[in-house]
Amino acid sequence: MPRIKSESQLKNMWKFPGGLSEPGEDLGDTAVREVFEETGIKSEFRSLLSIRQQHSSPGAFGKSDMYIICRLKPYSFTINFCQHECVRCEWMDLSDLVKTENTTPITRRVARLLLYGYKEGFDKIDLTMEELPAIYTGLFYKLYHKALPENYKAMRGIN
């Protein structure tokens, strides 16, 4: 049976940057903003990697909670972290992150997912984003999905 970590133990755990979306803010924009606020690193959204859903979490204000992990491309590697949110902040080799006990199960799993993506190709794990027109004139939505081959994107009929 897994050990339940106390809240004080979790405060010093390695984790990926994260936070809440602002009203009307897209997932990728939230990830880019939160990474910048916590680390000082500017980045670009690349894909969704995973979605965790849980219910009855003490920190979720009585709501069901979704934690969405995005893959970003950094524009710099120099860290200037927020000392109000982080005790330490550093780049870590994914193979070291997978092995450390000072992290959460979700961080270890996502590190393994990223190692797999680097080795086998991110097309195996990424959920890409495509903006499509909504049924309401002038409105659009974002659809996250595994990438379609080009010949299926333009497909009109079945041969």
Three-state DSSP state, 44: strand
pLDDT tens-place string over residues 11-52: 568 889 988 899 999 999 999 999 999 999 999 999 999 999
Nearest by Cα to 71 from 52, 92, 49: 49
d(C-alpha 139, C-alpha 144), whole Å: 17
Q: Which residues of the chain have pLDDT under 50?
A: 1-5
In the chain, beta strands by DSSP E:
43-54, 65-74, 128-133, 140-145
Q: 56 φ, ψ to 5°?
A: 60, 30
The pTM score is 0.83
Which has the closest alpha carbon to 114: 71, 51, 68? Answer: 71
Quick check: 106 and 13 in contact, CB under 8 A? no
Provide the annotated active-site residues: 37
